[in-house]
Amino acid sequence: SCSVKSKPVAEAKQRSSSKMSAISTSMVQFSVNLFQNIPNNSTSNVFFSPLSVFTALALTLGGAADDTADQIAAGLGINTNDECVHESLGMLQSEVIASDGVIVNVANKLFTKEGKQLKQAFLDLAKTAYKSNVEALDFAAKSDESRQIINKWVEAETNDKIKDLIPEGTIDRDTIMCLVNAIYFKGSWKDMFDQKNTRKENFFVTPEKSVEVDMMNRNGEYGFGWDGDLEVSILELPYNKEEISMFLVLPSYADGFPKLISQLTADFFTKATRNLHKTEVNVAIPKFKLEETINLDKILTKVGINDLFTRGKANLSGIVDTGDLYVSKFVHKAAIEVNEEGSEAAAASAVTFASFSMPPQFTADHPFLFFIRHNKSGVILFQGAVTNPLE
């Protein structure tokens, strides 16, 4: 079992903290795998929440068995039999929500079919580790009404940022359960950009094609680094209280983005963020707004999670006793707005430094990668790519 009650407090604390850091490491790897399997990831805008997707899958793992469980665990990069996963993830979730100076909301909910009894152990797991409530809906007779109830809940939990999560026709009389995870983040920059310094400038979608964007400009002290292997510079923009930061990864060349995507590793994330040094930087970043919907069932099969989505193969016997339960659809929707004041988002190699005599320029006028991270735990709340700020 995962109980650490019998252990001395200090030891238990240390154990749970190393468990949490193991989970956050798995999450970074998962995030990279997911990103690399998103279609057109080097030519279109991308935005998703690794934390949200990981959490929904981990909860599903809690009710899975045999090959289905093994595939989910392997996809997430965790051990199938590790009972501490759920507890550690729940603790991480609480820690992220408690971040000072910003608003973070992570909410989980199970919507079930009226009259269908889910196993108590699964419901208990959902409640205790994931703080997930359960609501029964009449999927059979009132399928579209049920869909709207779920969408309204998501809208409320994400401060109206995510609307219509579940598309029409997704819920029908065969639906047994709809598992929903929503995440919302709002943060102001520790150092805001002055609106007077925002001006129209060109953003090169490709080296030949540019669009005119609102470019925010600021000169200030930031964590800054350079990775010679990937040929990118890295900038940390902390939010108020510095518990959560946005990191921007900008290729040195206007056409360097596809190379960055193809060579991205989990190791890079860890090293890139660890080896930044504070220096004065001239920063130019476009204002942008992204809203992206991803059908994860298609993408997760590419990371080896197949049985879960296959009727007749999925083993979710930990959720219901009878019947052929499988996941018919896994929709993820995430949105973010970045402006002079900060961001509002919802979702649901060796680094070497050169010394500069002039303040380095960080001019994001061509496609770049970004991620929003909880600094203490290393959990990536959101990850995305801006290839065209106007799309």
pLDDT the model gives residue 355:
35
Report the C-alpha gap between 164 and 46 in whole angstroms.
19
pLDDT the model gives residue 324:
79
In sequence order, the β-bridge partners of residue 272 are: none
pLDDT the model gives residue 6:
46
Q: Kindly report the CA angle at 384 between 187 and 103, in degrees rounded to 5?
A: 20
Predicted confidence band of residue 133 (pLDDT cuts 50, 70, 90):
confident
pLDDT the model gives residue 351:
36
CATH of span 9-187+290-336: 3.30.497.10
Predicted confidence band of residue 83 (pLDDT cuts 50, 70, 90):
confident
The fraction of the chain above a pLDDT of 70, given in percent, is 93
Ranking 137-141, 219-223, 272-276, 316-320 by mean pLDDT, the lowest is 272-276
Predicted confidence band of residue 359 (pLDDT cuts 50, 70, 90):
low
306 pLDDT more than 60 = yes
Q: Is 214 helix (H, G, I), strand (E, B) or coil?
A: strand
Q: Retrieve residue 302's tokens.
A: 């590419």
Tell me which range, 352-356, 360-364, 383-387, is most confidently predicted by mean pLDDT: 383-387
382 pLDDT more than 90 = yes
7 pLDDT more than 60 = no
Report the C-alpha gap between 315 and 61 in whole angstroms.
10
CA distances from 138 to 35, 133, 142, 145, 325 (A): 36, 17, 5, 9, 17
**243-280 tens-digit pLDDT:** 999 999 999 999 999 999 999 999 998 888 888 999 99
Report the C-alpha gap between 340 and 286 in whole angstroms.
10
Burial of 322 (0-12, 13-18, 19+ CB in 10 A): exposed
353 pLDDT more than 50 = no
Report the C-alpha gap between 218 and 357 in whole angstroms.
19
**96-115 tens-digit pLDDT:** 999 999 999 988 888 888 98
The answer to whether 310 and 319 have CB atoms below 8 angstroms apart is: no
> Taking each helix axis from N to C terminus, what angle separates 9-36 and 66-76, rounded to the nearest 10 degrees?
90
Q: Where are the beta strands (DSSP E) in the chain?
A: 46-48, 103-113, 133-137, 177-188, 199-204, 210-227, 232-238, 244-251, 277-286, 288-295, 331-338, 342-347, 361-363, 368-374, 379-386
Q: Kindly report the CA angle at 59 between 152 and 369, in degrees rounded to 5?
A: 75
pLDDT the model gives residue 161:
92
pLDDT the model gives residue 304:
95
Predicted model pTM: 0.91
The answer to whether 190 and 238 have CB atoms below 8 angstroms apart is: yes
The arithmetic mean of pLDDT across residues 311-318, rounded, is: 91
The answer to whether 6 and 361 have CB atoms below 8 angstroms apart is: no
89 pLDDT more than 90 = yes
Query: Which of 309, 312, 283 lies closest to 216, judged by CA?
Result: 283
pLDDT the model gives residue 358:
58
188 pLDDT more than 60 = yes
pLDDT the model gives residue 138:
94
Report the C-alpha gap between 382 and 31 in whole angstroms.
9
Q: Kindly report the CA angle at 349 between 381 and 304, in degrees rounded to 5?
A: 55
314 pLDDT more than 80 = yes
The residue ranges of every structural domain in the chain are: 9-187+290-336, 189-288+342-386
Q: Which residues contact 66 (CB under 8 A, 6 or more apart)?
A: 315
Other beta carbons within 10 Å of 12: 14
Residue 385 DSSP symbol = E
* Best CATH choice for the domain 189-288+342-386 from the list 3.30.470.10, 1.20.120.10, 2.30.39.10, 3.30.9.10: 2.30.39.10
196 pLDDT more than 50 = yes
The arithmetic mean of pLDDT across residues 284-307, rounded, is: 93
pLDDT the model gives residue 10:
66
295 pLDDT more than 50 = yes
pLDDT the model gives residue 347:
79
DSSP character string of 301-366: GGGT--GGGSTTT---TTT-SSS-------EEEEEEEE-SSEEEEEE---------SSPPEEE--S
**30-71 tens-digit pLDDT:** 999 999 999 998 899 999 999 999 999 999 999 999 999 999
pLDDT the model gives residue 269:
87
**148-187 tens-digit pLDDT:** 999 999 999 999 999 999 989 888 888 888 988 889 999 9
In sequence order, the β-bridge partners of residue 285 are: 216
The arithmetic mean of pLDDT across residues 230-255, rounded, is: 95
pLDDT the model gives residue 322:
67
* Average pLDDT taken over every residue of the chain: 89
Q: Is 178 helix (H, G, I), strand (E, B) or coil?
A: strand
Phi, psi values for residue 78, rounded to 5° = -125, 170
356 pLDDT more than 60 = no
Report the C-alpha gap between 172 and 170 in whole angstroms.
7
Chain centre to alpha carbon of residue 349: 23
